[in-house]
Every structure is written in structure tokens, then in C-alpha cells.
């Protein structure tokens, strides 16, 4: 079967992407509004996009309007979707923290994904302990195995319609590794029980691993 994205509804394209580009790591993004309101939300359209310089990218979609208001702005016939709190905060302040999610934080991470009002602090909703960051103002999730303090590099906007999305690229300025995941002062990768997002409401754990030696080309 061949599928041309422009010929099928957006929801179907979304599901195909979600089910096949998987498992996806989860960026649990902490940010602050210009007035200092804390925010925390997960994003699985996420990856490291460069190692030197160290850059991370995640993609917030636009939130479809609850009911199109008569005087709402529009692109063509479509009302313009609302930016998610995270995207608005990142644009306003230029800073965010990407926290990595282990199995122990799965339920809390899920709780923070509710479409809450901007005035709600998701750290409180999920009863999460936080810690101050070193070089940026947003807090980090205290028990997350690793947290990346980022300064905004660029936002790419792909589409301004209700189903549009953006790519937020941040430069990592500080990496915090939680003590319990260190062995002899270095990250012990085998101690991480990270989770990944699959399609629908499915997740995967990364406790089953295997190794392969790369081919040597003379």
C-alpha cells in the first residue's frame, strides 16, 4: 500500500507516523512563562539533533480551538490553533529544561500531559519534587535520570492552521545526571529504565537490550 499524506485526513497521517516512528524518547519539558508561571509537559516528537554543538529538538503541535470563535483569526477557512503553553513560554523566555523519563516517572509524566490552563502548575498536579537548574530559570524534575538545560536556538513553524506544528531547537548549556545513575563518577547506561512512546496510548520499557559490533571497513 502506498499512502500520499496530502490525500488522507490529518488524523490518519498522524496515526501512521505515531505507530511506525517508534519507540520515541520523551522530552518532559519544563518552562516558565514571562510572568514566572511554571509549566511541565511531555513531547515525544523529540530527539537529539546535533552532538557538536549539543542540540535537542521537540515538536509541539497547535491545540485545536475548542469552538471556533466568530472573530478568531484564520488561515484560509481554518481557525488558527492555539500554541501550547510550552511553545508560548519558550518563545517568551528563550529557556527550557528537557527531563528524561524513566519507568518510575511514567504515571507522573502522563498526569502532566493534560490540556490544563496556563495558570496550572503541572509539578503540583503530579506532586513532583523539583530542583533548581544551574544556568536557566525553569526548574528541573528532581528524580529524572538526566535533565538538559537549554537555551532556545530556533523555532521553525511548519503550518499556522489548527493542525500546524513547530520545531523547537535548543542548545544544551548544562546536563544534570541524577546521582543514583552514576557508577565511578560516570553515567551507568544499564541502570536507566527509560520509557519510549509507541502509537496510541502504548509505551515501551528499555530493559531488554542486545549488542552488535559495527563492521570494520579497512
Pattern of binders to ligand FMN over 179-208, x per CB under 6 A?
A: ------------------x-----------
Buried b (16+ CB within 10 A) or exposed e, 25-34: bbbbbbbbee
Residue 106: other Cβ atoms inside 10 A: 15
**According to the binding rule CB under 6 A, does residue 161 interact with ligand FMN?**
no
* One character per residue 22-61, x = contact with ligand FMN (rule: CB under 6 A): ----x------------x-xxxxx-------------xxx
Residues 58-77 that bind ligand FMN (CB under 6 A): 59-61
Q: Contact at 8 Å (CB) between 62 and 73? A: no
- Could you say whether residue 113 binds ligand FMN (CB under 6 A)? yes
Query: Min. distance of Cβ 166 from ligand FMN in angstroms?
Result: 9
User: How many residues bind ligand FMN, per CB under 6 A?
Assistant: 18
CB of 120 to ligand FMN, least distance (A): 8
Query: Which member of 38, 85, 148, 172 binds ligand FMN (CB under 6 A)?
Result: 85
106/142 with CB nearer ligand FMN: 106
Contacts of 141 (CB under 8 A, 6+ apart): 28, 30, 40, 99, 105, 123, 128, 129, 130, 131, 147
Q: Which C-beta is closer to ligand FMN: that of 26 or that of 102?
A: 26
Count other C-beta atoms under 10 Å from residue 7's C-beta: 8
Where would I find the beta strands (DSSP E) of 26-165? 27-32, 38-43, 46-51, 54-58, 74-75, 78-79, 95-100, 130-131, 140-141, 146-157
Look up residue 33 and give its three cell numbers.
512563562
* Footprint of ligand FMN (CB under 6 A): 26, 39, 41-45, 59-61, 84-86, 110, 113-115, 197
Amino acid at each position: 500500500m502506498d499512502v500520499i499524506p496530502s490525500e488522507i485526513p490529518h488524523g490518519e497521517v498522524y496515526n501512521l507516523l505515531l505507530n511506525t516512528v517508534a519507540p520515541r524518547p520523551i522530552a518532559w519539558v519544563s518552562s516558565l512563562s514571562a510572568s514566572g508561571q511554571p509549566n511541565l509537559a511531555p513531547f515525544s516528537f523529540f530527539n537529539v539533533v546535533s552532538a557538536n554543538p549539543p542540540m535537542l529538538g521537540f515538536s509541539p503541535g497547535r491545540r485545536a480551538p475548542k469552538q471556533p470563535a466568530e472573530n478568531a483569526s484564520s488561515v484560509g477557512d481554518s481557525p488558527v490553533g492555539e500554541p501550547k503553553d510550552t511553545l508560548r513560554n519558550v518563545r517568551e523566555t528563550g529557556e527550557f529544561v528537557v527531563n528524561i523519563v524513566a519507568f518510575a516517572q511514567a504515571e507522573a509524566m502522563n498526569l502532566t500531559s493534560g490540556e490544563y490552563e496556563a495558570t496550572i502548575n503541572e509539578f503540583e498536579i503530579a506532586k513532583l519534587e523539583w530542583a533548581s537548574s544551574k544556568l536557566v530559570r525553569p526548574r528541573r524534575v528532581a528524580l529524572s535520570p538526566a535533565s538538559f538545560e537549554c537555551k532556545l536556538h530556533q523555532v521553525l513553524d511548519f503550518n499556522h492552521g489548527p493542525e500546524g506544528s513547530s520545531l523547537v531547537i535548543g542548545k544544551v548549556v548544562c546536563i544534570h545526571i541524577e546521582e543514583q545513575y552514576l557508577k565511578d563518577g560516570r553515567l551507568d547506561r544499564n541502570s536507566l529504565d527509560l520509557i519510549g512512546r509507541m502509537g496510541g496510548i502504548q509505551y515501551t520499557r528499555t530493559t531488554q537490550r542486545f549488542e552488535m559490533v559495527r563492521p570494520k571497513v579497512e
